[in-house]
């Protein structure tokens, strides 16, 4: 156990600050905002302390913290990070101060609003560091409450419908996962709910398949993978700006994280067998999301459907069962969080000024608001994977690695890259080029606070695009261990069949 329980602090700090906000007067809006910002900044600063103690090149869990929780049930408070969870924890703590700054002018129910943001942050970090399956499930479900509140209370006109749909989809998936967890513990004979204890459980092919599908349902809904994606456009469209940013930047990544953390290591045989149909679903999601995005008249809904397409690439990389593709998928999760989060922020800044997200209501925004237009252009180029920006260094390795194992899937997915350029650049052309007309007339450019929110995101887009090595050198050893484990399990399941064939041939010769 580490001298300073840094991972526990990353959960406790935002939870404590959420509690402090809960004790404050609802009228003290300035103080509430300040406390929320300090809480997120302290958490981000604490998260950076992980880096010096993290051994680069080691695939296993590090900075592990453990304490008894419910010993009679085999439940332990157990947290730790590896290369995959490290990047996602840092992404979570990095994005939250920007979210608070972006919502700085929020007035309605500020106390509950900012307390919900901090409570959500605590749960999200908990999901990425939990190494006990019951602890993971608790954080997985706790996230629903503050996110439901953000959408259902502070969202748009159809916020209640979107919030209930989001809640029910995720709840159903989570309950299926819980049933699978309990089966692993009771029927399969695990001694505890600790990650490593479950990893050692022997399962038949049939058990692996059904349990894989139960976990798959929970994580496919979170990604979201076609055809269980329908909650996402509603949630994105109706959520307040910061709700959409958190959904895009962090919550959707839990699905991809779950595939790598649980589905592949726990059920390698089922993962290998079911990989081709899952790749088909990923490709359908890539092409469907892009085509539907192209047809949208609402720019926020366009970006929402683009997430379905982009996260299809993440699923493609994971289930290509190739180290290069899977490492690219993790880096792309980070890239998508940065880029799509930035797009939602820019759309929110625009909506605050004009109260319209309809593409046809705008023309000439580049002339009217050059700073806004320039930032939107850079972010859009990142989203379409322009070389030199972060989107390229995620998508290209996914396609490269996928081509090694499933060439047909990589070839089909390339069309998604082309379509992404079409729908984003076409929307950009209509809104930002031409004469200044419609809602663009009189629209003010971004202020200093908004530029300050966007600057770190744009810097990361360029920095990761030019030098992604720090991300890959941390994530690749972990991903390599997972993929090799799946490959070895596949070889082991084939060996009995091979031996029986040889034995039969030898018997025939005799």
**pLDDT tens track for 329-369:** 999 999 999 999 999 999 999 998 998 999 999 999 999 99
| pLDDT band with cut points at 50, 70 and 90 for residue 492 | low
In a domain, 508, yes or no: no
Q: Is residue 506 part of a domain?
A: no
Instruction: Examine residue 71 and state whether it is found in any structural domain, yes or no.
Output: yes
Q: How far, in Å, are 73, 97, 200, 268, 498 from residue 488 at the CA level? A: 32, 43, 14, 9, 15
Q: Does pLDDT of 502 surpass 70?
A: no
Structural domains in the chain (count): 1
Residue 507 lies in a domain: no
**81 lies in some domain:** yes
Residue 229's closest CA among 159, 282, 176? 282
Question: Which residues, 6+ apart, have CB-to-CB distance to 507 below 8 Å?
Answer: none
Q: Mean pLDDT for the chain?
A: 89
Domain limits at 149? 6-501
* Domain assignment present for 509: no
| Residue 78, SS3 per DSSP | strand
In this predicted structure, what is the pLDDT of residue 433?
Answer: 92
Confidence at 237, pLDDT banded by 50, 70, 90: confident
Average pLDDT over residues 172-198: 88
Q: Is the pTM of this model over 0.85?
A: yes
* pLDDT given at position 332: 94
Residue 488 is assigned to a structural domain of this protein: yes
Q: Does any domain span residue 369?
A: yes
How far apart CA 220 and CA 218 sit, in angstroms, is: 6
Q: Which helix (H) or strand (E) holds 455?
A: helix 448-466
Residue 479 to residue 477: CA distance in whole angstroms: 6
| Of 324 and 489, more confident | 324
Q: Report how far residue 14's alpha carbon sits from residue 22's, in angstroms, rounded to the nearest whole number.
A: 12
For residue 501, pLDDT beyond 90: no
C-alpha to C-alpha distance for 129 and 32, rounded to whole angstroms: 28
What's residue 493's pLDDT? Answer: 55
């Amino acid at each position: 156990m580490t001298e300073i329980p840094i991972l526990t602090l990353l959960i406790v700090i935002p939870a404590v600050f959420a509690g402090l906000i809960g004790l404050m007067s609802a009228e003290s809006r300035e103080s509430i905002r300040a406390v929320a910002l300090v809480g997120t900044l302290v958490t981000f600063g604490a998260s950076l302390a992980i880096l010096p103690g993290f051994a680069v090149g080691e695939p296993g869990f590090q900075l592990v913290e453990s304490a008894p929780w419910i010993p009679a049930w085999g439940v332990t408070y157990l947290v730790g990070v590896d290369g995959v969870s490290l990047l996602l924890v840092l992404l979570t703590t990095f994005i939250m101060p920007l979210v608070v700054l972006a919502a700085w002018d929020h007035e309605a129910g500020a106390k509950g609003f900012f307390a919900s943001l901090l409570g959500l942050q605590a749960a999200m970090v908990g999901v990425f560091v939990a190494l006990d399956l019951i602890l993971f499930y608790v954080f997985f479900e706790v996230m629903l409450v503050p996110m439901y509140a953000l959408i259902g209370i502070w969202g748009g006109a159809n916020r209640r419908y979107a919030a209930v749909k989001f809640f029910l989809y995720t709840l159903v998936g989570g309950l299926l996962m819980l049933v699978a967890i309990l089966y692993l513990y009771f029927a399969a004979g695990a001694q505890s709910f600790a990650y490593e204890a479950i990893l050692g459980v022997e399962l038949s092919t049939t058990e692996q398949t059904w349990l894989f599908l139960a976990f798959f349902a929970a994580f496919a809904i979170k990604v979201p993978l076609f055809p269980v994606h329908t909650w996402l456009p509603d949630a994105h469209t109706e959520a307040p700006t910061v709700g959409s940013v958190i959904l895009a930047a962090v919550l959707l990544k839990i699905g991809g994280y779950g595939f790598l953390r649980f589905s592949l290591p726990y059920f390698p045989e089922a993962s290998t067998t079911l990989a081709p149909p899952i790749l088909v679903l990923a490709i359908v999601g890539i092409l469907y999301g892009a085509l539907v995005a192209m047809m949208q008249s609402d720019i926020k809904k366009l970006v929402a459907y683009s997430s379905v397409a982009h996260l299809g690439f993440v699923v493609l990389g994971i289930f290509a069962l190739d180290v290069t593709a899977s490492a690219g998928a993790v880096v792309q999760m980070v890239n998508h969080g940065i880029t799509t989060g930035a797009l939602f922020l820019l759309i929110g800044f625009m909506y605050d000024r004009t109260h319209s997200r309809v593409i046809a209501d705008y023309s000439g925004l580049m002339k009217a608001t050059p700073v806004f237009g320039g930032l939107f252009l850079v972010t859009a180029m990142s989203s379409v994977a322009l070389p030199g920006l972060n989107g390229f260094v995620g998508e290209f390795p996914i396609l490269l690695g996928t081509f090694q194992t499933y060439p047909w899937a990589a070839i089909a997915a390339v069309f998604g890259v082309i379509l992404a350029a079409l729908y984003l650049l076409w929307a950009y052309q209509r809104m930002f080029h031409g004469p200044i007309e419609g809602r663009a007339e009189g629209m003010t450019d971004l202020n200093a606070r908004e530029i300050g929110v966007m600057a770190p995101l744009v810097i990361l887009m360029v920095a990761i695009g030019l030098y992604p090595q720090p991300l890959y050198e941390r994530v690749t050893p972990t991903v390599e261990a997972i993929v090799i484990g799946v490959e070895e399990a596949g070889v082991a399941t084939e060996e009995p069949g091979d031996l029986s064939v040889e034995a039969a041939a030898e018997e025939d010769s005799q």
